[in-house]
Copies of this chain bind each other. A is one copy, B any other.
Amino acid sequence: MRVLPPSRRAIVSTTVSALDQMIHKLSGRSALTGEDKEAILSLPHTIRSYHAATYVVREGEPPPNHCSFIRSGFAVRQKITAQGARQIMSLHLVGDFIDLEHLFLNIADHNVQALTELEVVAIDRRALESLVLARPNIARALWIDALVDASIYREWVTNVGRRAAPARIAHVLCEVALRMQAAGVSTNGGFELPLTQEQLADAVGLTPVHVNRTLKALVADGILHRDKRYISFTDWNRTKEVADFNALYLHLEQAKPA
Contact = CB atoms under 8 A, between A and B. Distances in A.
Interface residues of A, number: 55
Q: Is the interface of A mostly helix, strand, loop or mixed?
A: helix
Nearest to A135: B133
Nearest to A248: B109
Nearest to A251: B105
A151 B106 CA distance: 13
Nearest to A78: B158
A18 to B, nearest CB: 24
A39 interface: no
A79 B254 CA distance: 20
Find the residue from A87, A109, A136, A244 having the highest chain B CB count within 10 A: A109
Given A77-B154, A81-B162, 6 more contacts: A79-B155, A82-B241, A106-B254, A107-B254, A109-B249, A110-B154
Interface of A: 59-60, 77, 79, 81-83, 85-87, 89-90, 100-101, 103-107, 109-110, 132-134, 136, 139-140, 143-144, 146-151, 153-158, 160-163, 204-205, 241, 244, 248-249, 251, 253-254, 258
